[in-house]
Chain A
Amino acid sequence: MNFINDDIFMAEEKFEPKITCFVCNWCTYTGADLAGTSRLKQQTNARLIRVPCTGRIDPVFIIKAFESGADGVLVSGCHPADCHYNTGNYHARRRWIFFRELLKQVGIPESRLHFSWVSASEGKKWVDVVNGVIDTVRKEGPFEDYHKVNTEFAFPEPEEAVCS
Chain B
Amino acid sequence: MQELIQAAQAALTSKEAAFIIGYALTPDGKKTRPFIARTPDEAAKLVFNHTCAHNLAVYLTRIAKPKEGKMGIVAKGCDTRAIVALIQENKITRDQVYIIGVNCSGVTADVTLPFGADNLPSKCIMCQVQVPPVSDVLVGTAAPYDKPKDAVTERMQLLEAMNEHERFAFWASEFEKCIKCYACRQTCPMCYCEQCIVDKTVPRWIESSASLRGNFSWNMIRAFHLAGRCIGCGECERACPMDIPLMLLNRKMGMVAMQQFNYRHGVNPEEPTLVGSYNMQDNNEFFK
| B212 contacts A102, C-beta separation under 8 Å | no
**B207 at interface (Cβ–Cβ under 8 A)?**
yes
In the bound complex, residues from chain A placing their C-beta under 8 Å from that of B256 are 97-98, 101
| B168 & A145 in contact (Cβ 8 Å cutoff) | yes
Q: Assuming the A-B contacts A91-B278, A98-B224, are A153 and B213 also in contact, with contact meaning beta carbons closer than 8 angstroms in the complex? A: yes
* Cα separation A10 to B156 with both chains bound (whole Å): 39
Decide: A102 and B220 in contact? CB cutoff 8 A: yes
Q: Which of B176, B206, B274, B278 has the most CB of A within 10 A?
A: B278
Partner of B275, one of A94, A106, A109, A154: A94
Q: Is the CB of A154 within 8 A of B168?
A: no
Interface flags for B231-272 (1: CB within 8 Å of A; 0: not) read 000000000000000001100110011001000000000000
Task: Report the interface size for chain A: residues with CB under 8 A from the other chain.
Answer: 42
Question: Which residues of B are found within 8 Å of A90, using beta-carbon distances?
Answer: 278-280, 282
Total interface residues on B, using CB and 8 Å? 48
Which residue on chain B has the smallest CB distance to residue A81?
B280
CA distance A51 to B169 in the complex (A): 33
Q: Are A106 and B287 in contact (CB under 8 A)?
A: no
Check if B65 is an interface residue, CB within 8 A of chain A. Answer: no
> Is A152's CB within 8 Å of the partner chain B?
yes
Q: Are A102 and B280 in contact (CB under 8 A)?
A: no
Contact A116 B280 (CB under 8 A): no
B260 with A150: CB separation less than 8 A: no
CB of B288 within 8 A of CB of A149, answer no
> Chain B interface: which of A17-25, A30-38, A39-47, A57-65?
A57-65
The 3 A-B residue pairs with the shortest CB-CB distance, nearest first, are: A107-B168, A107-B167, A153-B212
New A-B contacts (8) at CB < 8 Å, excluding given A60-B205, A94-B278, A107-B165: A93-B282, A98-B224, A100-B286, A105-B248, A107-B167, A115-B288, A149-B172, A154-B213
Cross-chain pairs A/B with CB under 8 angstroms, 24 sampled: A59-B221, A59-B224, A60-B197, A80-B280, A87-B278, A91-B278, A93-B278, A94-B279, A97-B260, A97-B282, A98-B256, A98-B257, A99-B227, A101-B252, A102-B223, A102-B224, A106-B171, A107-B162, A107-B167, A115-B287, A145-B169, A149-B213, A149-B216, A155-B209
